[in-house]
Amino acid sequence: MTKTLAAAVLVLGLAAGGAAWWLRAEAQPVTVDSIGDENQTVARGQLPVFAAKGDAARLYAFAADNPDTLAWMPCTCGCNKLGHTSNRSCYVKDERAGRVTFTSHGAT
């Protein structure tokens, strides 16, 4: 590999790493709401820290990407008493302007 090519690869790698850090920096800190659930607002396409791995990641990604599917499914844990309107409410608390606020209710 030539020095020029190696330098270009290094610059691209650093730029990609910087972009990944910047995107993650867009995530808000985790907060706790009045019912004890954790909440985090992240850019659309990202997942909250409490659902970043394994089955939880797949469930939260599905909930974010398929609002029409979960919106008609009632929740089975009784959280409708807490204001949840569908099964999706256990995962997604709010959406606006390319941002999603997730709740840990579905992960607990």
Query: Is pLDDT of 26 > 90?
Result: no
How many of the other CB atoms lie within 10 Å of CB of 58? 12
Decide which of 24 and 95 is more confident: 95
Its pTM stands at 0.73
Q: What's the mean pLDDT in 2-7? A: 47
- Paired strand residues for 66: none
Q: What is the pLDDT of residues 32-80, one digit of tens each?
A: 998 899 999 999 999 999 998 999 999 999 999 999 999 888 887 778 7
Q: Do 67 and 89 form a contact (C-beta atoms < 8 A)?
A: no
